[in-house]
Copies of this chain bind each other. A is one copy, B any other.
Amino acid sequence: MALKVTIVVGNPKPKSRTLKVAETLVEKLLVPGSYELEIIDLADHTGEIFAWPSDTMAALNERVAASDLAVFASPTYKASYTGLLKAFLDRYPANGLAGVTAIPVHTGGDLTHAMGPTVNLAPLLVELGAVVPGRGFYFVAGQMDHLDEIVSQAAAEYARNLARLAVVAGAAASHSAPVA
């Protein structure tokens, strides 16, 4: 069965380079044909992001929560993820991303805020119950010419991490407790 994969882009401007980085990461990480991809560009939903209730937003939230893998990609604003991305994640109840493997991605102008995806976005996704299989991925926007090469290295690291996690998974006891 195909893996459900979603990219969520938190840039208030649509069709950004940040989206391109996330798409490339998915391509490099997964075997072609093994997944179906949906892209959620939050720039298309700024008018509804604070509406409550909202069928549109609820459907988007649901889609991400049902993903096997979700990439959350944001430009660096004030050393962290955007308010737009946070506003989308704020719509979830506690533990709303339980069981989702999540990769945090930030793009930025230079290395000054390279710690952002690891110290800001990753703990946020984990708070929602997601699991982050390694470091957050930070991409310096000026390196778009080397996008494939840089993203391939990051993808290889995530793939190795996932393979190692699968080994531990094999020895984990099965628990009958319901998902919290």
Binding site for B on A (CB under 8 A): 3, 12, 28-31, 34-35, 46-47, 49-50, 52, 68-69, 77-90, 92, 98-101, 110-116, 118-120, 122-124, 126-129, 131-135, 152-153, 155-175, 177, 179-180
Number of copies of chain A assembled together: 4
Task: Give the complex CA separation of A173 and B152 in angstroms.
Answer: 11
Chain B, residue nearest A43 (CB): B50
Decide if B115 touches A126 in the complex (CB within 8 Å). no
**Candidates B114, B162, B177; contact of A153 at CB < 8 Å:** B177
Separation of A134 and B112 alpha carbons in the complex (Å): 17
Cβ of A168 to closest chain B Cβ, rounded Å: 5
CB contact under 8 A between A131 and B165, given known A83-B90, A88-B83, A160-B99: yes
Distance (whole angstroms) from the CB of A133 to the closest CB of chain B: 6
A-B contact pairs, 24 of them (CB 8 A): A29-B173, A47-B47, A49-B50, A79-B124, A80-B127, A81-B86, A83-B83, A83-B87, A101-B168, A111-B111, A111-B112, A112-B115, A113-B114, A115-B115, A122-B122, A131-B134, A152-B177, A155-B173, A157-B180, A162-B165, A162-B168, A162-B172, A165-B165, A165-B169
**Residues on the B chain within 8 Å of A49, using CB:** 50, 83
